[in-house]
Structure 1
Amino acid sequence: MTEQPNPYASQPTSSYATWGDRAVATLWDAVYLWPVVVAFIVSGVLLGIGGGINSDQTTGAGTTLVILGSLGLAASYIWLFVRSIRNYVVIQGRTGQSWGKARKGLWVVNEQTGAVPGWGSCLGRMLLHSLINQAVYIDYLWPLWDKPKVQTLTDKILTTVVVKRA
C-alpha cells in the first residue's frame, strides 16, 4: 500500500490541532457510536425486565425477554467492534480522518512524511490509546503540556501528529 501525500504536511507548526480540537473530535466520534449505545441500553432493559419476570416463575415471557436481551447485547458488542474498527482503523487509515476528525477538519499524518498513516498505524494507535488509558487517561491529557506538536504519548510512539485544516 502506498502512502498518500498530505497537502497539510508543509504547513507551519501553528497548524497542529489543539487539545480542544482533538477533544471535540473525540466527542463527535462518540456521537458516531451513539446508535450502539442505544442498542446496549434497550438490550439491557429487556434483560432486566425478563430477569424480573422470571423471578415470579409465572410465564415464559421472562425467558423470551432474557434471550432477546442477551442476543441484543451480543449483537451490540459485535456492532461496537465493527463500527470502531471501521472508524478508527479503516477510514482513518485510508483518509487520515475518523468521523469526528472529519467534522473538525483534523487529519492524522505521519510526522516525517506528512502522509496518511495507513491502517496498520491506525490499528496500533487505537490499541495503544486503549492500553495507556486503561490505567489513567494520561494519553488524552498528554497534549495539554506537549508543545509545540500537541501530541499524545501514542502519537510520539507512532510518530504521528494531528493537524488542522487552514
Structure 2
Amino acid sequence: MSFGTPNNPYGPGQNPQQGYGYPQQQPGYPQAPQGVPPQQGYGYPQQPGYPGYPQQGGYGMQPNYANWGQRVLSKLIDGALYMVVYLPIAIIGEKAGVPILGLISFVAMIGVIIWQVIQEGKTGQTVGKKVVGTRTLKEDTGQPLGGGMAFVRQLAHFLDGLPCYLGYLWPAWDAKRQTFSDKVCGSIVIRSQ
C-alpha cells in the first residue's frame, strides 16, 4: 500500500527534478532556481559584509578602521587635486592681466569640491580615499552616507577645529578612529583594500 501521490514512483516527498530527499514544490509558492541564493526578508538585519564592510567572519565583527596616517594622506591628495584645478588657471589669468580667469578657476575648484562630496556620498570615496584605499560609511549600516549626509559631515568638520584642532588628531587614539564630525554624523572611515 502506498501513501502520498499515487502517480509518483519516487515515493512521498520525492521529486526527480529536485533530487532525492527534497520536498515537493508546494502549489502557490514559487521555488528559487538552482544556484540562486535565497534572499532575506524585510525583518532580517543587514549583513555588514555587503557592500561597505569587508567580510570578516560574520555579523557583528568590527570593520578594519583606517588609521590616522591614511586619513591625513587622503586629505592631502584631495587638497592637491583642488590646487591642480585652481592654481594654473588663476596664475595664467594673473600673468595675462585677465582677472576673470581667477574667478573661473575658483568656480572650477568649487565644482570639483561638490563633485567630491557627491562621490563620497554615493561610493564612500573621494579621489584621495580611492588612492589610499579607504572609504567613509554609515557606522550602523555599513552603507555609503548619501549626498546630503556627506555634505553635513563636511560642514561638521568645523567641530574638529574648535578645540585647537584636537578633533583632527582624535582618530590617532580613538577606538573607532573617528573625528568629532564622524561621531556627530555616525560615520566611520574603513580600509577598503
Same fold (TM over 0.5): yes
Shift of 1:10: 5.6
Shift of 1:76: 1.6
How is 1:126-145 mapped onto 2 (pairs within 5 angstroms)?
126-130=154-158, 132-133=160-161, 136-145=164-173
What secondary structure, in the 3-state scheme, does the structure 1 residue paired with 2:136 have? strand
1:165 aligns with 2:192: yes
Aligned residues: 139
Cα displacement string for residues 119-164 of structure 1 (whole angstroms, at most 9, x for unaligned residues): 0110011112256437843332221232x11001100000000000
Aligned-pair identity (%): 30
2:110 equivalent in structure 1: 81
Residue type of the partner of 1:138? L
1:154 aligns with 2:185: no
For the 8 Å contact 1:6–1:109, the answer to whether it is kept is no
C-alpha distance in 2, partners of 1:81/1:71?
15
1:53 equivalent in structure 2: none
Q: Could you say what the CA RMSD is over the residues aligned between the two structures, in angstroms?
A: 2.2
Greater C-alpha radius of gyration:
2
C-alpha distance in 1, partners of 2:68/2:95?
36
What secondary structure, in the 3-state scheme, does the structure 2 residue paired with 1:109 have? strand
Going from structure 1 to structure 2, the CA distance change for 1:131 and 1:149 (only over 3 Å counts) comes to: closer
What secondary structure, in the 3-state scheme, does the structure 2 residue paired with 1:163 have? strand
**Higher RCO by CA contacts (8 Å cutoff, separation 6 or greater):** 1
TM-score calculated relative to the size of structure 2: 0.64
Unaligned 5+ segments in structure 1 are 47-64
C-alpha distance in 1, partners of 2:55/2:79?
30
More helix by share: 1
Going from structure 1 to structure 2, the CA distance change for 1:96 and 1:14 (only over 3 Å counts) comes to: closer
For the 8 Å contact 2:178–2:188, the answer to whether it is kept is yes
Unaligned 5+ segments in structure 2 are 1-49
1:32 aligns with 2:81: yes
For the 8 Å contact 1:9–1:113, the answer to whether it is kept is no
TM-score calculated relative to the size of structure 1: 0.74
Q: More deviation in 117-126 or 132-141?
A: 132-141
